[in-house]
Amino acid sequence: MQVHGSTYRSIMHCARSVFRAEGISAFYVSYPTTLCMTVPFTATQFMAYESLSKIMNPRKEYDPITHCVAGGLAGAFAAGITTPLDVIKTLLQTRGLSQQDEIRKVRGLFNAAAIIKKEFGWSGFMRGWRPRIITTMPSTAICWYPSPIAAKSFPPFVSTDLTSSRRSSYEMAKAYFKRTLREEQTSHSTSKL
CB of 26 within 8 A of CB of 19? yes
Non-local CB neighbours of 52 within 8 Å, separated by 6+ positions: 69, 70, 73, 74
Which of 42, 69, 78, 39 has its CA nearest to residue 142? 69
pLDDT of residue 162: 42
| Tens digit of pLDDT at every position of the chain (193 positions) | 455 566 777 889 888 988 998 889 888 877 887 888 889 999 999 999 999 989 998 887 878 888 899 999 999 999 999 999 999 988 888 887 777 888 888 888 899 999 999 999 999 999 999 999 999 999 999 888 776 666 666 554 444 444 445 556 666 666 766 777 777 777 666 655 5
pLDDT number for residue 4:
56
The model carries a pTM of: 0.65
Domain regions of the chain by residue span: 29-153, 155-193
The string of DSSP letters for 109-130 reads HHHHHHHHHHHH-GGGGGTTHH
